[in-house]
Each structure stands twice: as structure tokens, then as C-alpha cells.
Structure 1
Amino acid sequence: MRISALFAAVALALGVSFTPVLGPQAQAEPLSTEDALAERVMGDVTAPVEMIEYSSLTCPHCAAFHAEKLPELKKKYVETGKLRIIQRDFPFDRLGAMGAMMARCANPMRYHQFIDVLFKQQDQWAHSQDPVGALVQIGKLGGLSEKDFQACMKNEDLLNGILKMRQDGVAEYDISSTPTFVINGEVIVGNQSLETFEEAIEKHLN
């Protein structure tokens, strides 16, 4: 995929115009580190079933889950108020950590869109000749200026918070690979079948 085509696809997914600067849509003020590290919840926070997803943005199995399983789970359980999904970072490399930092520095209203885009376009940005430059451009399309991107990457407290999130996952759930899911305390490792996820959710609904 040509780089211009990549950014056009990213812009479409983020719901913005394909322009270098987003103008009035851009984020007005950078998030505090505390706000950047706050839980990112998809769905009704009072949903009876909670699924925590530990993933790395450079993990192909995580990308496959987001492409193959998540849309169905969202439609059947999230949008009906039965399931809430909490995204937690578990980066395995520098690029995965940078992607996680960027998504958390962006407007929280676009967080899940950022995650979807980064997974869908994983092969293009993570394996490009200039992956950091690709992240900068994706950030711009989502309302994060290059200046804010650079400030985000220099935020050691944010990086340490993300690494602590990973360490806590290891300590609490013995996580060693991604994706790993925790559904109301039940640990499911890997991009399992849709039926496996549905059975676990239904069990806790009943």
C-alpha cells in the first residue's frame, strides 16, 4: 500500500478529512498523564460482564482478534449493554509502546478508533521504512499535532505507567503473551474462536 493510500484509509477510519492538519478538530490541550493512563472502556460501564483485553499494537494475533472477533462481540454484547471491554496495554517492543502512548495521548473520544486503525494498518505502519514517521502522520490525522506527539513520546511517566500496566497484568493474571483476555476473572489466552468468547460471556450472563 502506498503511503498516501495508507493515510487516506486511516483518515476514513478516524472519521476525519484527509488533510495534514485537522484545524478545529485538533486536540486543544494535551492530556495530563493521569488522564492518559485512565481506563479506556468500550461500552456501558455498568454492563454485567467485564472483559479486559491485554494486547500489543505490534502483535499480529491481536490485530486478527480486532478484525475477526471484536466486531461480532461489539454487535452482540457491547451494543446491547451486556459487555464492557477495558483495553490495557501489554507492549512487547518499542513500537508497540510508542503506539500505545500515542493512542493514550489522543482525544479519549477517539481512543478506540485509534486502536482500530493501528491494528488494521499494522502491516503498513509497523513495517514501514519509517514507522515513527508513520505514527506521526496517523496522529496528525487523529488530531494529535507533531509537537504533541513528540511531547507524548518524551513523557516518561506515561511510559512507566504503561509498563506498570503490563507488570500488573503479569502479577495478577500471569500474562505472558498477547492477546490475553480476562472475562469476569476467567483468563482466556490467545485469539480463540468466536464461540469460545461467546461461551465465556454467556456463562457470566447466566
Structure 2
Amino acid sequence: MTLGVAAVVPRLSRAAEVDLETALAPRFEGDPDAGLTMIEYSSLTCPHCAHFHTDILPKIREAYIAPGKLKLEMRDFPLDQYALRAAAMARCAPESRYFPLLDMLFKQQAKWTRATDPIGAIKQIGRLAGISAEQADACMSNEALLDGILKIRLGGQQDHDVSSTPTFVVGTEKVVGAQPFEDFQKVIEPQLG
């Protein structure tokens, strides 16, 4: 008999409260008035997503997000229970720490996904972003929050035919995979107007 991932994820404490409206609000990086939006569908356990975040996104940030030409909207597309739990914890981070926390989760992905206790490893990374173990437990076990994240994933499948991660919707163009920076330039530049 094999156990699914859900069966091996430990039960978590529910002591702390979760502000669902704030946790499930869209997460943007960059100037809210930027003329072009790039939506990223990503899973925190996806190695291609980690590659995008560590090697390609910094160049996009420098060329387009920092100058206010492009804003990035992060949408969760968890591929497994650990990605779902990590996304839930990240959504409980203060807005100013959300993207730095994602960057940290992606940079340390190989460590926490292979840890003996991945949930404990996720919580340890969360502590560096100011999320207590109690808050992390509350977020990772909040059924409404987990359902909300899964609805975001379902929306990606229905609205943009997302079937793998990372997938991006840049303005009117869809980009599948962690493509080189130059490929993103070819999609972004013509849409900047």
C-alpha cells in the first residue's frame, strides 16, 4: 500500500488566525501603474521555476520591473502538497516580504524539498521572513487558504490553459517554461508601446 503525499504531511497546529482576504489577494511586484503585466504561474517545488527565479527574473527585474515598465503578478500553481503548504505560508507573509520569501524558497529549494522534514524546513525559511512557527502552522493547515490557492491554480488551467510550470502570460502573449531572458525581451519589448 502506498501513501499519498497528503498522508505523510504532518498535522499542523491551528492556533493562529489567518486573514484570508489579505492572504489570497493578488501579489504584485513593481509599479502598480506599469503599462504591462506579466503573470507567472509557478510551483515552489518546480526546479524550472527555481531556475527562472534565480537566473532569469533578476534580469527582468533590472530591465523592466525596477524602471516601472512591467509589473509581475505571482499566481500559485502548486504541483504537490509541499508546494501548496509553502505557498500558503508565503501568502501569510507581510506584503513587503512576500517576493523576498519566494526568492529564498526558490534559492533553497533543493535543500528543503529533500529534507527529512520538508514542512519543518519550510517553517525555518519562514522564520527568516518573520513568520513564527505558530503562524506558519496556521497558514499551512488553513483549509480555506489551501482551497483558495487551488482555485488560483484552477483559474490558470481554465483561463490560460496552464498545464506546466512555470508558465507566463505577458500582456497578450503566453510563454511556457523558464526561457532565456532574450526570449522574454522579444515578448515584452513589442508590447511596451
Q: Same fold (TM over 0.5)?
A: yes
Report the CA distance between 1:185 and its aligned residue.
Answer: 2.5
Q: Within 1, Cα distance between the matches of 2:123 and 2:65?
A: 31
* Within-5 A mapping of 1:53-64: 53-64=40-51
**AA in 2 matched with 1:195:** E
Pick which of 139-148 and 165-174 moved more: 139-148
Counterpart residue number, 1:197: 184
**AA in 1 matched with 2:66:** E
With normalisation by structure 2, the TM-score equals 0.89
Q: Cα RMSD between the aligned structures?
A: 1.1
Uncovered stretches (5+) of structure 1, i.e. residues with no partner: 1-28
**AA in 1 matched with 2:185:** E
Instruction: Give aligned pairs, total.
Output: 178
With normalisation by structure 1, the TM-score equals 0.84
Residue of 110, 113, 128 corresponding to 1:141: 128
Residue of 149, 155, 159 corresponding to 1:168: 155
Asked if the contact 2:18–2:138 (Cα under 8 Å) also holds between the matched residues in 1, the reply is: no
Q: Deviations over 1:92-130 (max 9, x none)?
A: 000000110010011111000110000000000111111
Q: Within 2, Cα distance between the matches of 1:177 and 1:199?
A: 21
**AA in 1 matched with 2:169:** V
Give the secondary-structure state (helix, strand or coil) at the position aligned to 2:60. helix
Question: CA 1:140/1:46 → structure 2, altered by over 3 Å: closer, same or farther?
Answer: same
Report the CA distance between 1:41 and its aligned residue.
Answer: 0.4
Overall identity of the aligned pairs, in %:
50
Q: Within 2, Cα distance between the matches of 1:194 and 1:58?
A: 22
The reply to whether residue 45 of structure 1 matches residue 32 of structure 2 is yes
Asked if the contact 1:97–1:159 (Cα under 8 Å) also holds between the matched residues in 2, the reply is: yes
Give the secondary-structure state (helix, strand or coil) at the position aligned to 1:69. helix
Counterpart residue number, 1:81: 68
